Structure 1
Amino acid sequence: MTVDGLFSLQDQVAVVTGGSRGLGEQMARAFAEAGAHVVIASRKLDRCAEVAADIERTTGRRALAYGLHAGRWDEAEPFVETVYDEFGRCDVLVNNAGMSPLYDRIGDVTEAMFDSVVNLCFKGPFRLAVLFAERMRAAGRGSVINVSSTGSLRPPTGAVPYAGAKAALNAVTEGLAMLYGPEVRVNTLMPGSMRTDVSKAWDMPAAEAAAEAIALRRIGEPPEIVGAALLLASSASSYISGSIVRVDGGIP
């Protein structure tokens, strides 16, 4: 196989939750450019439709927009059914949807806030990974990519519930890799600080100062997630499963 062929997703189907903006949008666009048809799912259906239309216009690949709350257990199965009804297959699932509400004091975290974070960052990805992986295994192949965070390794004080949920997702990745191998590869894609829409709420001078402590001395840009995502989605990672691929600029 040629080097280009290693990273090809020609005529495959890739599903990206949280695919209407930020890292998810970057990955969806990259998968389509690599030849895949894509499913873009998020709570904001209008934005999903805008991104899907642009992907179809610029790549010629089919793009399906779907309104999904990825943290709601009962929405997972109808979503999977729709993907298979529309395309007959799924080769790549990216569990990218997530949230990390801000709080001033950890004592201010309510049960509702805690549950929202855990549902979207852990419970939902678990359910979707299982449902898609079952079908992938029956088809004989597939790749599940759970998007975590370096916060799961070094929890920031302002996002402790989020860090805990992502750490749980790391553990689920390893367990599912063992359960669904050898047909299905399950890996963690772990970005560090990236200049996405979420970063608009940051104290940017403080974030940039903190980035001076990492190897590359800067905050990442959203397109920089693409190389690692294509690696894990494609046959270039045919012997990688149960692993964490960090895209964090070199956190010490």
Structure 2
Amino acid sequence: MGEATVPGTVTGSAPGAGEFRFDFTGKRVVITGGSRGLGFEMARAFSLLGAEVLIASRRLESCEDAARRITAETGGAVHARSVRVTDWDEVTAFAEVAWDVLGGVDVLVNNAGSSPLYDSIIGIEEALFDKVLGLNLKGPFRLAALLSERMIDAGMEGSVVNISSIASLYPKPATVPYSAAKAGLNAVTVALAHAYGPHVRVNCVVPGTFLTDVSKHWDMGAFEQRAQSFAMKRGGDPKEIVGAVLYLSSSLASYTTGTLITVDGGAPA
């Protein structure tokens, strides 16, 4: 496989420039929610740059299909497993499976998440509230803690990248449980960075509005009008999340931990 480039790759021809390239050869990466959208682009990028990747989501078939597509393009090893991130015990078992399948984990990307719609705040049911917190906060916390402990026990240096949301910083009435969960994930990021440093770095990417498959159900005319208030005047392409995730996962971010990087096209509060 030749030299791969993806958005955000730092390249150059001067002596020593190689140390400023993203190179994940020999690295083992776990990505939850990796079968589509932002997660799929992350998995594809890591594979292009030499990593062995394990993608997981609730639907095994979707993960297997994504893995086949990425391997067909990159020639890299991409594994597929299922996990319900909302289930504490299932996440615990999955951490062991992921470690065994890859022979260790160097990078965890906690990308799985969702923000279900509801008719009114007072109409939010307990089951929905619990599910949103489980998927966006409880599961990522548990998986990050388990794999960070394993990294340290193995004498490794690793990286955890949590995927939050701009809704964590600017909550709206339509995203109350989701905003609360992602705000909690921001806090967990900082706490775990202190708990597991200096050997495991824990950081967070805070995406704004990206045009994933979910956006196919939007009123695009209304969105395009709203996007005129963004500095970039548009929504993000899923590939545009890749640079921040690769940076935080790489040795180029060796002195970066406990931080939040916002990737939102300059969206207003």
Q: Judge same fold: TM > 0.5, yes or no.
A: yes
Moved more, 76-85 or 171-180: 76-85
TM-score, with structure 1 as normaliser: 0.96
What secondary structure, in the 3-state scheme, does the structure 1 residue paired with 2:53 have?
strand
Alignment partner, residue 215 of structure 1: 231
What secondary structure, in the 3-state scheme, does the structure 1 residue paired with 2:35 have?
coil
Alignment partner, residue 239 of structure 1: 255
Counterpart Cα distance in 2 of 1:157 and 1:212: 22
Q: Which amino acid aligns with 2:33?
A: G
Instruction: Say if 1:94 and 1:147, in contact at 8 Å, map to a contact too.
Output: yes
Aligned-residue offset at 1:76: 1.2
Query: Would you tell me which structure has more helix in proportion to its own residues?
Result: 1
Is 1:250 the counterpart of 2:259 in the alignment? Answer: no
Alignment partner, residue 81 of structure 2: 66
Alignment partner, residue 163 of structure 2: 147
**Structure 1 pair 33–75 and aligned structure 2 pair: CA distance change class (3 A):** same
Q: Matched residues, percent identical? A: 52
Counterpart Cα distance in 2 of 1:203 and 1:161: 23
Q: Which amino acid aligns with 1:144?
A: V
Q: How does 1:1-252 map to 2 (within 5 A)?
A: 2-3=17-18, 6-138=21-153, 139-252=155-268
Aligned-residue offset at 1:224: 0.6
Moved more, 44-53 or 196-205: 196-205
5+ residue gaps, structure 2: 1-15
**Structure 1 pair 8–238 and aligned structure 2 pair: CA distance change class (3 A):** same
Counterpart Cα distance in 1 of 2:214 and 2:18: 35
**Greater radius of gyration (CA):** 2
Moved more, 241-250 or 201-210: 201-210
Instruction: Say if 1:6 and 1:235, in contact at 8 Å, map to a contact too.
Output: no
What secondary structure, in the 3-state scheme, does the structure 1 residue paired with 2:122 have?
helix
What secondary structure, in the 3-state scheme, does the structure 2 residue paired with 1:179 have?
helix
What secondary structure, in the 3-state scheme, does the structure 2 residue paired with 1:230 have?
helix
5+ residue gaps, structure 1: none
What secondary structure, in the 3-state scheme, does the structure 1 residue paired with 2:261 have?
strand
Deviations 1:185-226 (A, max 9, x none): 100011100001222333322222222112111111111111
Aligned-residue offset at 1:251: 2.4
The count of aligned residue pairs is 252
Deviations 1:146-175 (A, max 9, x none): 000001001122111101100000000000
> Moved runs in structure 1, 4+ residues, more than 6 A?
none
Deviations 1:58-100 (A, max 9, x none): 2121111001111110111211111222221101100000111
Aligned-residue offset at 1:5: 5.1
TM-score, with structure 2 as normaliser: 0.90
Instruction: Say if 1:37 and 1:61, in contact at 8 Å, map to a contact too.
Output: yes
Q: Which amino acid aligns with 2:221?
A: P
Counterpart Cα distance in 2 of 1:57 and 1:203: 34
